[in-house]
Amino acid sequence: MEITIQQLADEMYNLVRDYTGKKKFKPSDLVKEMEAKYGVSKEEGKQALKELIDSERCVYTYAGGSFIEIANRGLRVENDTR
């Protein structure tokens, strides 16, 4: 089965969304998951991860390591004008 980078990014998003609040994924975990599920190369997995982050559907978070989480689009931080 041939899968595009966009489709891989969509699959990564779905995985992160489905496990929100249950499990946090490291970037390498998502890439490995796509390698195992679809037989894609590590490079294709990294491209899909980049697409996912660039689309702003997911973001990197840092808490004792790097993780991928769903972006909170409703959260806006205003400049502090004190």
Domain count, the chain: 1
Under the banding of pLDDT at 50, 70 and 90, the label for residue 82 is very low
Contact (CB, 8 A) for 67 and 60: yes
Q: What is the pLDDT of residue 42?
A: 96
pTM of the model: 0.83
Q: Where are the alpha helices (DSSP H) in the chain?
A: 5-18, 27-38, 42-54
10: buried, middle or exposed (CB in 10 Å: 19+, 13-18, 0-12)?
A: middle
Domain span at 50? 5-70
Domain membership of residue 36 (yes or no) is yes
- CA atoms of 16 and 8, how far apart (whole Å): 12
Contact (CB, 8 A) for 11 and 33: no
Domain membership of residue 18 (yes or no) is yes
Convert the pLDDT of each residue in 48-80 to its tens digit. 999 999 999 999 999 889 999 999 865 444 444
